[in-house]
Chain A
């Protein structure tokens, strides 16, 4: 069975349509729009289910033509990985929308919130299902823009705006790296079709290596994925992104958008895995991220900040899993995508409940609230222990797989590769620490600052309970989960569909590693506060903080821009003109030299007497212009030059050009006179330096034009286009009463303008209209701008 085009298009389009009508729905339903959005998400979830049932996770491609001339098609590729990511986007989406009903109660801008969230959901489904690199890139950038809008949701707050800008800079910048990576891949393989690339992974890898583009492709793609999935050192945007409303954090920055980078790694894993570079780059990146951000999470003082660093850490785990060449690597990543989405979204929703009901996000000010929030506490225990990787909770199984594959890689390669399992264990110890710290928010002593706590509304309680239910279900029946979902995902990423996990019964290396992790974690947890302050103290040194580097860099650019502007943008039109003209001429001439263009050789000037006369008059006019005593005299002599050119056209049998030249020359002259009427008669003499500069500049322009004419006329095409026009423009000797194939006009120039190249003309008159509009706008808005 294969995927159905209508279903695929529907699942991508429905969220966008829903987003478009959201403003109307908000007017009608008010805050209950949350349910509308949830129903939309559920419908999409059902459609993803239909797709999953129809394909059974087997790869399937559907396509609809887009720009056939350039071989660009709206192609969608449905397989296990795509279905999982789309399923998360819609499933978690539905829960988050219900949660938003309670959380966003009383907030302004409901329409903006739900419309952006729905559009984001559509973009994320698009990323997951895209079967074409261009389509993937477009949806990818859509998600970045949606994330920007949602992080900056509280537009009145400076920190929100800064965080939004930061996220946009990093994720969109990363997206551009990814685009370059795509172009490299397309250059080597000759296709943008992801579906055909994935269909022949070995061939793709071979053609990349043959073109010597394997490493560039890998590098660019990893930077793109790393920026999106908050890998060190590009993780800095994720903690700041917590300025967004909590449901946004749960949806975008835990379950879905940050998974896009991981998705990319998983998607390209079958294509690129094999050469040692893959493991060296990807596994190292993932493990370093996992360890570093886990340590940073321990230093966090804010619940959402802790979860943000933890998200980066777990994304690192997934990337690391995909990074190992062994098939178990694919299984690690695939399994952990699901696990992490479930427990981290649940924990974010819990953090939102705490912020709402306890009234603070500071870790130190929360404690012992389990009595007041029993259901929330239960959810936290299930999700938190899964995050810590404690058996038999879901997260344990995927972490065991990582231990297994990293140990395997070390045992195979030896030497430095032993760092892999070591870092994995170290990172996991810190993961254990902060996970337990988060769970302990509900237990232990109750700080005096905690006041009366309300029960959260059911809309805020039900979604985390459902997510915790998923975690519990995976914990109880991991094997069933693999058979149903994870297996086909692992297959997409280059693993086997049938693999086995379970609570270990024999003593194998991964089990020992888990035991070390949990043992060390329990011991160290007694000194959690010391660790917390210790790490925070180390981070006081700015060079150690990635954020310091970001700030320094961005502020540096801003300052450099502010310093450079007065030098470049002097505000004098004359300066702008000099730079523009000089650059244009210079670049053109350099380009001719670089391209080795040869100008036509002029063979014997054979000019008729009238033409010589006309040109002589023009020369005299030029000479007079240079010594003209006033503006009016200058303009008049300049127009002599123009009229001589018109006569030259007439003599050269180009009546249409001559007519145009005459009319334009007249109009310009008239306008000049109109303006000159209001100007002083003459400005006086100009400084010698400026005069010399202007002479050099005008010679340069003249030289450029001359060379251009000579170069362009040097070409001798075998089938010149003018023959086509000469044959097709006039009325043919025999014709019917309606003529379609021919221009049917005696004036070839005009027939070209209005018939053969009418599209060009349409563009040109649009430019003319825009020029008119621009003048209106510029003059109309003159008082605004710099003064405000």
Chain B
């Protein structure tokens, strides 16, 4: 399926997909979107690259993380990074809850702060839930990419 048409399309579409996923993530608090959707979309972007160029291209040329793991059947070292990714996501999500505990509130209490007079935005709403959502995003991206790469590597 690595046709020229597909490769060219992926080249054009990829940045847009990634940008949209970031927007969806940031907008999630007030508009449709959120960590889960953004995570799945980011994964889709990676999946497109896999289909069009193959996993070796992604890990060697784009991310410069070629090489082999010591584990049988799991050839690509990039999978270790994905694994670290979802571990990090879980840590962020759980950690954001612990911050609330440290401040004396129940686990996972979220807060919203309003900052006035920010250039461009004027009134900016900062939600602590974004941190938790970032954890969700990382977990989704890490896990789905792990599954995708391991199964795709078969």
Contacts and interface: CB of A to CB of B under 8 A. Distances in A.
Nearest to A737: B114
A656 interface: yes
A758 to B, nearest CB: 4
Contacts of A779: 73-74, 150-151, 154
B114 A759 contact: no
Given A775-B150, A779-B150, A765 B140 contact: yes
A740 B127 contact: no
Contact of A754 (B1, B34, B47, B143): B34
B44 A663 contact: yes
Contacts of B108: 758-759, 762
Given A677-B1, A776-B74, A779-B73, A769 B87 contact: yes
A743 B108 CA distance: 12
Contact of B36 (A655, A660, A766, A776): A660
A670 B51 contact: yes
B148 A747 contact: no
B31 A747 contact: yes
Contacts of B146: 772, 775-776
B90 interface: yes
B142 A772 contact: yes
A745 B30 contact: yes
B29 A738 contact: no
A512 B66 CA distance: 92
Contacts of B51: 670, 673-674, 677
Nearest to B79: A776
A754 B110 contact: yes
Contact of A750 (B29, B79, B113, B143): B29
A765 B93 contact: yes
A655 B32 contact: yes
A196 interface: no
A780 B146 CA distance: 13
A782 B150 CA distance: 13
A671 interface: yes
Interface string B25-44: 00011111111110011011
A580 interface: no
Interface residues of A, number: 50
Given A744-B127, A780-B72, A737 B110 contact: no
A737 B44 contact: no
Contacts of A769: 86-87, 89-90, 139, 142-143
Contacts of B129: 743, 745, 750-751, 754-755, 758
A739 interface: yes
Contacts of B15: none
A766 B136 CA distance: 9
Interface in A498-547: none
A715 interface: no
Interface string B119-140: 0000001010100110110011
A663 B37 contact: yes
B91 to A, nearest CB: 10
Given A674-B51, A768-B140, A771-B147, A747 B34 contact: yes
A746 interface: yes
B113 A759 contact: no
A775 B151 contact: yes
Given A671-B47, A731-B125, A765 B135 contact: yes
Contacts of B29: 744-747, 750-751
Interface in A438-463: none
Contacts of A659: 24, 32-33, 37
B135 to A, nearest CB: 7
B36 A753 contact: yes
B112 A754 contact: no
Interface of B: 1, 24, 28-37, 40-41, 43-44, 47-48, 50-51, 71-74, 79, 82-83, 86-87, 89-90, 93-94, 97, 105, 107-115, 125, 127, 129, 132-133, 135-136, 139-140, 142-144, 146-148, 150-152, 154
Interface of A: 655-656, 658-660, 663-664, 666-667, 670-671, 673-675, 677, 731, 735, 737-740, 742-747, 749-751, 753-755, 758-759, 761-762, 765-766, 768-769, 771-773, 775-776, 779-780, 782-783
25 contacts: A656-B32, A656-B33, A656-B37, A660-B36, A663-B37, A731-B125, A737-B113, A737-B114, A739-B111, A739-B112, A744-B29, A745-B30, A755-B110, A755-B129, A758-B108, A758-B110, A761-B132, A762-B94, A762-B108, A769-B89, A769-B143, A772-B146, A775-B147, A776-B146, A779-B150
User: What 6 pairs across the A-B complex have the smallest Cβ distances?
Assistant: A744-B112, A772-B143, A746-B30, A754-B129, A739-B112, A772-B146
